Amino acid sequence: MIFHLGQIVEHVRFGYRGVIYHCDGEFSLTDEWYDEMAKSKPPKNKPWYGVLVDGS
């Protein structure tokens, strides 16, 4: 994993800040969720992070 729980991060492309609250070692949801929500089609075999975005 690149990031750790509780770590504050800033999105390189979009500039928002947030804190990591969850991490899966690889994608673990359904193919339907991936097709609908993961528009940029990130790799399923890399870590997936939950981020609480600042101001949300």
Q: Residues 8-43: pLDDT tens digits?
A: 999 998 999 999 999 999 999 999 999 999 989 999
- The 10 Å Cβ neighbour count of residue 55 is 6
pLDDT interval class at 53 (50, 70, 90)? very high
Q: Does the residue 56 lie in any domain? A: no
pLDDT at 1: 73
> CA dist 41 to 5, 8, 9, 19, 48, Å?
23, 24, 21, 22, 12
pLDDT at 43: 96
Which domain does 37 fall in, by range?
A: 8-49
pTM comes to 0.78
Give the CA angle between residues 42, 17, 5 to the nearest 5°: 70
Q: Does the residue 32 lie in any domain? A: yes
On the question of pLDDT at 56 being above 80, the answer is no
Number of domains in the chain: 1
